[in-house]
Amino acid sequence: MTLRPLALPVLLLAAPAAAQPVNCADPQVQVELTWCAEQAWLRADARLNAAYPRARAVMRGIDAALPPDRRGAERSLRDAQRTWIAFRDGACDAEGWVFTGGSAQGMAIYACLERLTVQRAADLESLAAMR
């Protein structure tokens, strides 16, 4: 994924601006737009990381109520989550290619990561609420 190579240039560009707080309600330059997009993704990722254990606990409870030879709910969720992460990262990397070489590439990737992560967190929250 292209996030790692983007992180250093973004940090280097942001260093002079670090003395002033970034107002994500009104970002003024591309480095601020990218930083704000990253912060939105990090918030979405925190939401996802809170929802996943709750959904996993529900699946574990389902497994506990079943005979050992019929268990698999928790494993299915784990496998689905791993597959979803690979999908999300690949899909967002692909979206970033639209902006190859441009200063908006990192922002586009972070915006995609945030959008898909919010959707997945909501799905996991719904799953956790089913029981």
Q: What is the pLDDT of residue 9?
A: 54
pTM score: 0.82
Residue 32 has pLDDT above 90, yes or no: yes
What are the respective helix, strand and coil percentages of the chain, to the nearest 5? 80, 0, 20
- CA distance between the termini of the chain: 36
CATH class of 30-128: mainly alpha
Closest CA to 108 of 91, 129, 128, 127: 91
Contact status, residue 63 vs residue 71, Cβ threshold 8 Å: yes
Closest CA to 2 of 98, 120, 79: 98
Give me the helix-helix angle, 30-64 and 105-128, nearest 10°. Answer: 20
Tell me how long the chain is: 131
Q: What is the pLDDT of residue 58?
A: 97
Q: How far is CA 68 from CA 60, 64, 72, in A?
A: 12, 8, 9
pLDDT, tens digit, 9 for 90 and up, residues 84-119: 999 999 999 999 999 999 999 999 999 999 999 999
Span 29-37, average pLDDT: 94
Average pLDDT, the chain: 90
Domain spans of the chain, in order of start = 30-128
Residue 82 has pLDDT above 90, yes or no: yes
